[in-house]
Amino acid sequence: MKLFEILKISAALSLTAMLPGTVHAQSAGQHARDMNDIAATPPQGGDGGPAAKPYEMPSATLPPRPHRRGFVAVAYHVDTGSIWASVAHKTFDGAKQRALAGCNAATGGGCYIAAAVGGGAEKTFSQVFLAQDGMGQFWVRDATGQDLLLDPDVAMRECLSKSFGCDSLNGYEPGDIYLDVEPDLDQSTDYFPKGQLNHNRWAMVARPEKPTTAAHGKSWLISGKENSAATRKEILDRCQADAGVPCAISAYAIFGKKITEYAWIDTNALLVHFVDGRGKNRWTTALSAPVKKKKKKSPLGGPLPTYRDPVTVQERIDRICPPSSCRVIATYDAATPRMQVIEDVK
């Protein structure tokens, strides 16, 4: 570059440095004119001419990682309102062992595998489904392939067939095992309870399997006890000792915890003593009040089938007996500690 040109550039730069306000004013004025021109320009397309093709970012989509379906297992202990789930295991036994180990470590033993499923090709459908009844007990079932598509509410139906006050909860999928990592890498995830566990309190009623003179017209009731197995043994032993014949459990109730949309709530269920239309003394279980809940959807997204699921004392009695043919004698809550012999009522 010639010396004369260098000097002209230098002089121009010096002038600019000496007049910052002037340069700023010129820039601001030009910016205003440019914005006015833009505002006055009609949108592209329609009367304003053909639309300009927007700039498209280069695609950042990566090819799917190679993987296969893993295995999931869910462990449960009847004396808690909790479950232990472990997903994305490489083997069926590995999933079961992890879930059982977590449950037994937290409860001291007595856990069992409620459901386990998985494996197969990438698009194999399988899942563990959960439902919880009005007393806080979990009902856990698995389904695979066509069974899953035909009956996604399998746990809910199981709950309704054996209990009451049932709600469908979220379940667990087997998870994926990725094949582009180290073969020995553990890719599993545990979903275990955190914090202090809830321990259910139980109420049970026993009656002799065969009527005897000593036990005619009597029921043996125990309540307010933790540890279902020990409670069952205690009341059956007491009934058999008094009656002289083996006894069986007629009904049970639980003081536990139930999940709702709002919070965990206590489920102080009731044992209900009633007389049916033939004058026979019988027992059932109910809740003191229905649980407030929102409308649910099935695990696959559609609305749940309509279930008539009575939970209160009168609703439960009406389901068992024709209208006005049964008479409620007394109710006993599960939380209060008691051991007593109850005479039948005519």
pLDDT in tens, 158-173: 999 999 999 888 889 9
* Mean pLDDT, all residues of the chain: 80
Higher pLDDT, 13 or 58: 58
Residue 255's CB is within 10 A of a number of other CB atoms, namely 24
**Using one digit for the tens of pLDDT, what is the confidence trace for 172-187?**
999 988 888 888 899 9
Give the largest Cα separation in the chain, rounded: 131
What whole-number distance in Å separates Cα of residue 171 and Cα of residue 81? 16
- What would the DSSP string read from start to end of 99-116? HHHHHHHHHSS--EEEEE
Residue 280's CB is within 10 A of a number of other CB atoms, namely 10
What whole-number distance in Å separates Cα of residue 233 and Cα of residue 227? 10
Confidence check: pLDDT of 188 > 70: yes
**Using one digit for the tens of pLDDT, what is the confidence trace for 74-87?**
999 999 989 999 99
Confidence check: pLDDT of 124 > 90: no
Please answer whether residues 221 and 342 qualify as being in contact, where contact means their C-beta atoms are separated by less than 8 angstroms. yes
The structural domains of the chain, with segments of one domain joined by +, span 67-191, 201-343
SS3 category, 62: coil
| Residue 211: predicted pLDDT | 76
Residue 250's CB is within 10 A of a number of other CB atoms, namely 18
Q: What is the pTM (predicted TM-score) of this model?
A: 0.74
| Residue 297: predicted pLDDT | 55
Q: What is the dihedral of CA 284, 287, 292, 294, to 10 degrees?
A: -20
Query: Which percentage of the chain shows pLDDT scores above 90?
Result: 52
**Using one digit for the tens of pLDDT, what is the confidence trace for 202-240?**
999 999 998 777 678 999 999 999 999 999 999 999 999
| Residue 66: predicted pLDDT | 78
